[in-house]
Structure 1
Amino acid sequence: MFDIFQGGFGTILLLGIVGFGLVAIAGFAAVNDKSNDPMSKLKEQVQVADTAKPAKPNASLRRKQSNGLKVLEKYAKFLEPEDAKELSAAQQRMIQAGYYGKHAVRDFQALQFILAVGLLLLSLLVVFVIAPDNFESTPMRAAAIIIPMLIGYYGPRKWIDGRVEARKEEILSGFPDALDMLLICVEAGQSLDQSIQRVATEMKNTYPALSEEFTTVGEQVKAGRERSEVLKDLAKRCDISDITSFTTVMIQAATYGTSITDALRVFAAEMRDKRIMRAEEKANILPTKMTLGTMMFTVPPLLIILIGPSIVGIVTELNSSNISGM
């Protein structure tokens, strides 16, 4: 029997028995040691997190945040138009300016009210407390009080109008390039929705306004809305004839089953031609705009150079004749 443990085979068998015993001992120790149990460690961590979690402070924090968000809700009837059409038009105007928030109209009206009242109080303080001697007459006082208030009320409106026009100009400038990229993506085999998302990503740095509009289109299509409705909303938000024509072409191509690639190719070429025509129009208007400046800064010096010596000579002769006559 002991001959089995002689030689190489016996050594291997002995090492196997010893290793098996060590593994069994380690497994028995691991089973009895609850500190090495992963589930027990996980339960301990959960218990520690539950005991360390401050329930009341978090609730108060959420309460403070909700109160902060509802500060202007008390005055929503005063700040927002009650008529649904007026409210929709105001929301559309804010969206065209690039403000997509749910309460953008209310925040804008609150800003107008705060600026008007603040500048009114500041003008009253200046007129009656800080420098009353500089405003002795009643018309000056009335102008000094009313003008800042009007600036505070109508200034944000002018800002919104300027931002709307700037966004329209940016969208109009970048639209031909966007159509070219859209045509390339569609010809490469991508769908129209994928192409719109790709164009939105590529034009994020050069034309951010157009990129925002295309991103909105892509997200709405992802959410499950009909593409035709999304494109109609795009035309309504932008309020640009070229965008409206684009949406009409895309909707008609999808309705009648015509090729989107051919429609995009023709429409992109038309948009490039229109951009060249706009550039030529601006170049043709430039001399007319420069005429007034040229007359103001060129004609007076020219008259001085041509007529000045004659006037000086006439004055000299008259003075000399007067002296000789005396």
Structure 2
Amino acid sequence: MIEQISRSLTDPSFMVALVVAIAVFVTMFTALPALGADPLKARMKSVALERDELRAKQRARLAAEADRKRRGLREQESVGMRNIVERLDLRRALADEATLAKLKEAGFRGQNPLTKFLFFRLVLPFVFLALAVAYVFFLGGLPQQPPVMKMFVCIVAAYAGFYAPVLYVSNRASKRKASIQRAWPDALDLMLICVESGVSVEAAFRRVAEEIGGQSVELAEEFVLTNAELSFLQERKQAYDNLAARTGLESVKSVTQALTQAERYGTPVAHALRVLSAESRDMRMNEAEKKAAALPPKLTVPMILFFLPVLFAVILGPAGIQVSERGLFPG
């Protein structure tokens, strides 16, 4: 047995086979890392992920510091306003439920916008009155009017300053409603797709807010806020009611009522969203057709004042020039 083993070890062919086997094993051992994942790439990927995490943390820290500084400046600026409003009790005198609702519809939420609104309603009448008095009595404005008329103009300016914040808030609310109304049918279509695909209502609100932001920032903001309220409010119905109150639109109110009934009675949400989405699209088309139908009457006066005189001049101008050249009308 020993002689056979020694004979095999000293056999040249066996030695060649052994050397070849060792070479193949070493080659495979060396080539396996090259065939697998590149350690350098994995290392660089981990470094890149770590760098992104550090960058995100740094950005979050800088954003938190900037927000804290901005909030501190706002608080310092609004301390004097809040003291004046509380000392004069302007909330009881000038603010009611309609005022609060209008501020919400305009996108102003919280106590700070209400404080600024009341403060400006108190200060702007005196500012407008002072500007009117300076213009009328010191700068020589309205020189041909009697003193009674000048005093009347000053009083009207004071009233204008008193109602200027109301007009600003109403204008802001109208523009916000128009933006939400234009994007609402598309948002309902996206929400319907999300709900039919099995996504929850909260995730649907979040996804639609991400997609609809390019079309209407106001609607995306409302969806994000509603999603947050659905997470921490005790009653989900309150979150839907808040969405309807902040927008002030009947179409939004119909959708929130449908969502509330669906969660209370277990009715399918997709069917209600499909019907309401079709109604919203029809309403948007009707509004567009109404504006198109109202366009000809609105263009009548500009056409009479600006287009027809030019048209007559272009048509009758050459004839008038020819008649003048022939000498029928001495020039």
TM above 0.5, yes or no, is yes
Q: Which of 96, 104, 123 lines up with 1:95 in the alignment?
A: 104
Q: Post-superposition shift, 1:267?
A: 2.0
- Residue of structure 2 equivalent to 1:50: none
Question: Normalising by the residue count of structure 1, what TM-score does the alignment of the two structures yield?
Answer: 0.66
Count of paired positions: 252
User: Is 1:151 aligned with 2:160?
Assistant: yes
Whole-Å separation in 2 of the counterparts to 1:150 and 1:112: 10
- Residue of structure 1 equivalent to 2:251: 242
- Residue of structure 2 equivalent to 1:284: 293
Whole-Å separation in 1 of the counterparts to 2:276 and 2:229: 24
- Residue of structure 2 equivalent to 1:164: 173
Q: Post-superposition shift, 1:233?
A: 1.8
Whole-Å separation in 1 of the counterparts to 2:209 and 2:195: 14
User: Is 1:199 aligned with 2:208?
Assistant: yes
Provide the aligned C-alpha RMSD in A: 3.4
- Residue of structure 2 equivalent to 1:187: 196
Tell me if the contact between 2:191 and 2:205 (Cα under 8 Å) persists in the aligned partners: yes
Whole-Å separation in 2 of the counterparts to 1:167 and 1:67: 29
**What is the SS of the residue equivalent to 1:225?**
coil
Q: Which of 66, 72, 81 lines up with 2:91 in the alignment?
A: 81
User: Is 1:220 aligned with 2:229?
Assistant: yes
AA matched with 2:245: K
Q: Post-superposition shift, 1:282?
A: 1.7
Question: Normalising by the residue count of structure 2, what TM-score does the alignment of the two structures yield?
Answer: 0.65
Q: Post-superposition shift, 1:264?
A: 1.6
Whole-Å separation in 1 of the counterparts to 2:97 and 2:229: 20
Q: Post-superposition shift, 1:196?
A: 0.6
Matches within 5 A, 1:35-54: none
- Residue of structure 2 equivalent to 1:43: none
Q: Post-superposition shift, 1:167?
A: 0.8
- Residue of structure 2 equivalent to 1:71: 80
Whole-Å separation in 2 of the counterparts to 1:276 and 1:235: 22
CA-to-aligned-CA distance 1:56-114 (integer Å, 9 cap, x gap): xxxxxxx9997754323333343633279x53321111111111131322211211222
User: Is 1:269 aligned with 2:266?
Assistant: no
CA-to-aligned-CA distance 1:207-248 (integer Å, 9 cap, x gap): 011112111111111113322221122112212111111112
Q: 1:66 to 1:189 in 2, by over 3 A?
A: closer
CA-to-aligned-CA distance 1:231-290 (integer Å, 9 cap, x gap): 122112212111111112112222221211222222222222222222222222212222
AA matched with 1:80: L
- Residue of structure 1 equivalent to 2:58: none
Larger displacement relative to structure 2 (221-230 or 175-184): 221-230
Whole-Å separation in 2 of the counterparts to 1:291 and 1:232: 44
**Which blocks of at least 5 consecutive residues in structure 2 are unaligned?**
1-71
User: Is 1:258 aligned with 2:267?
Assistant: yes
Larger displacement relative to structure 2 (147-156 or 249-258): 147-156
Whole-Å separation in 2 of the counterparts to 1:185 and 1:131: 66
Whole-Å separation in 1 of the counterparts to 2:235 and 2:114: 27
Whole-Å separation in 2 of the counterparts to 1:208 and 1:64: 26
Whole-Å separation in 1 of the counterparts to 2:289 and 2:75: 55
| Higher relative contact order, chain-length normalized (CA < 8 Å, sep 6+) | 2
Whole-Å separation in 2 of the counterparts to 1:67 and 1:173: 38
Whole-Å separation in 1 of the counterparts to 2:134 and 2:298: 44
Identity %: 30
- Residue of structure 1 equivalent to 2:304: 295
CA-to-aligned-CA distance 1:156-213 (integer Å, 9 cap, x gap): 2211111111111111100011011111222222101110122122222320111121
- Residue of structure 2 equivalent to 1:209: 218
Tell me if the contact between 2:125 and 2:157 (Cα under 8 Å) persists in the aligned partners: yes
CA-to-aligned-CA distance 1:127-170 (integer Å, 9 cap, x gap): 44444894773145324523432332222221111111111111
Q: 1:67 to 1:184 in 2, by over 3 A?
A: closer
